[in-house]
């Protein structure tokens, strides 16, 4: 659990999450590949490839007797405030920064918190453009308007993104440049965000809960990577796909809507000397687990949840379903995963939205626009999704990691209307 909390604490942005994941994979014998170079793969090998510094696909070649893919997908990004170019707003007294919303955050939760400036910078070093992750040592903050000056604040507060979400970074008189405080060298451009700098912490009478920034979806990202590292080898190609930009629709170079996963799987097939026909047959025998979080029953607002499917903290891995396919789960994919979980004694529970509520979508559905495979949506039950600080139960993470490890270790044989799990 301590390693997970360190990952949550230091993965300020998708760039940092990928950097941390790469370090973890390298420590465990995974070899880096590049999209711009040829690949040489071997049975028993372990590899990873990144795209744009914010997305990563890791995989193991466990055995080639039956060529198929077992894929777990998660996302590396979380709602935040992106800093614009030329952001400084100076008055005679203060310097604030101009920002814009990234994703659908609960923006009032970002007020009066210790915020970090983090992301990546592009630096010109002798005519060569180099990208580097960056994070501020100092905190900044977005101050609330006092209740005495906004008497109706507790009756409802509509956040104005242009006016209210500008962090206070300094007094005008100190003369410091905000960008040089976090990056050395000539910064040509940047992808920098305001993120919550709070440390994760345990709470509850038995310390059974964790509160932390970026639980959605870094817990699933970390579980997928750890499970890929530790699973029992049982044939096929096991894949952990960690995409960026899920919070803004995934339709980007590093998102699930790109060709990153499709291209990577094809390159794996070709490097292992399989042709297009064998690749297509492999997809028909493969399973994608889309791992993104789900809403637990709220302790103060149980009426927000489905009346007969009570997804709760401590109830185990969530299997998510939706009639209109916001989630990709169907009867067969659910049955496969439930069988794997039951054999491994993994707790699981079912999630449905209220029928009169609009459902969010996940990267599973978006991935299927590029890749035709059987798919199931799962996740971790959590509270306060898209807040600057979210919550989950420790025991559920243990079940999630155990469940994904069992998935990677299973031999799933899909043939027409019959599926065997060995």
Residue 333 confidence (pLDDT): 95
Q: Is the peptide bond before 217 cis (omega within 30 degrees of 0)?
A: yes
pTM score of the predicted model: 0.96
Distance between CA atoms of residues 327 and 177, nearest Å:
45
Alpha helices, H only, 91-183 = 161-164
Say if residue 359's pLDDT is above 80.
no
Domain boundaries, the chain: 2-78+213-421, 81-196
What are residue 71's DSSP bridge partners? 239, 288
User: What pLDDT, in 10s, does the model give residues 314-342?
Assistant: 999 999 999 998 999 999 999 999 999 99
Residue 152 confidence (pLDDT): 87
Residue 300 confidence (pLDDT): 97
First to last CA, the chain: 30
Distance between CA atoms of residues 118 and 132, nearest Å:
11
Q: Do residues 228 and 28 lie in contact, with contact meaning Cβ atoms separated by under 8 Å?
A: no
2-78+213-421 adopts what CATH topology? Aminopeptidase (3.40.630)
User: What pLDDT, in 10s, does the model give residues 30-84?
Assistant: 999 999 999 999 999 999 999 999 999 999 999 888 899 999 999 999 999 999 9
Task: Assess if CATH 2.30.250.10 describes domain 81-196.
Answer: yes
User: What pLDDT, in 10s, does the model give residues 169-206?
Assistant: 999 888 788 898 888 888 999 999 999 999 999 999 99
Distance between CA atoms of residues 384 and 271, nearest Å:
44
Distance between CA atoms of residues 56 and 241, nearest Å:
6
CA distances in angstroms from 130 to 90, 188, 194, 225, listed in the order given:
30, 10, 22, 27
Instruction: Name the more confident of 227 and 358.
Output: 227
């Amino acid at each position: 659990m301590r390693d997970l909390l360190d990952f949550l604490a230091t993965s300020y942005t998708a760039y940092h999450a990928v950097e941390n994941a790469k370090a973890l994979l390298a420590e465990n014998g995974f070899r880096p590949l590049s999209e711009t170079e040829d690949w040489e793969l071997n049975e028993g090998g372990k590899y990873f490839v990144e795209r744009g510094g914010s997305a990563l696909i890791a995989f193991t070649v466990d055995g080639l007797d039956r060529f198929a893919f077992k894929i777990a997908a998660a996302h590396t990004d979380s709602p935040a405030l992106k800093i614009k170019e030329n952001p400084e707003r100076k008055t005679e007294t203060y310097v604030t920064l101009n920002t814009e919303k990234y994703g659908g955050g609960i923006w009032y939760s970002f007020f009066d918190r210790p915020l970090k400036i983090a992301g990546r910078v592009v630096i010109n070093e002798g005519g060569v453009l180099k990208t580097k992750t960056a994070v501020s040592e100092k905190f900044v903050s977005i101050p609330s308007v006092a209740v005495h000056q906004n008497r109706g604040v507790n009756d409802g507060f509509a956040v104005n993104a242009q006016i209210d979400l500008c962090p206070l970074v300094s007094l005008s008189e100190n003369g410091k440049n905000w960008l040089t405080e976090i990056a050395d060298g000539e910064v040509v451009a940047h992808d920098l965000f305001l993120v919550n700098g709070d440390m994760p912490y345990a709470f509850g009478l038995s310390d059974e809960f964790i509160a932390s920034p970026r639980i959605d979806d870094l817990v699933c990202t970390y579980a997928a990577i750890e499970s890929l590292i530790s699973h029992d080898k049982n044939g096929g190609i096991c894949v952990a796909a960690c995409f960026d930009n899920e919070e803004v629709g995934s339709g980007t170079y590093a998102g699930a809507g790109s060709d990153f996963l499709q291209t990577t799987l094809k390159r794996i097939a070709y490097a292992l000397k399989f042709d297009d026909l064998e690749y297509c047959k492999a997809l028909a025998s493969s399973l994608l687990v889309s791992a993104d979080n789900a809403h637990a029953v709220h302790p103060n607002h149980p009426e927000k949840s489905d009346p007969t499917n009570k997804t709760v903290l401590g109830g185990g891995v969530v299997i998510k379903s939706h009639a209109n396919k916001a989630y990709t789960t169907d009867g067969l994919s659910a049955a496969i995963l439930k069988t794997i979980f039951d054999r491994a004694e993994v707790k699981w529970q079912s999630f449905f939205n209220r029928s009169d509520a609009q459902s969010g979508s996940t990267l599973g559905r978006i991935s299927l626009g590029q890749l035709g495979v059987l798919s199931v949506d799962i996740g971790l039950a959590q509270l306060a999704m898209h807040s600057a600080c979210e919550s989950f139960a420790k025991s559920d993470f243990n079940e999630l990691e155990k469940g994904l490890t069992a998935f990677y270790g299973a031999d799933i044989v899909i043939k027409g209307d019959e599926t065997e799990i060995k």
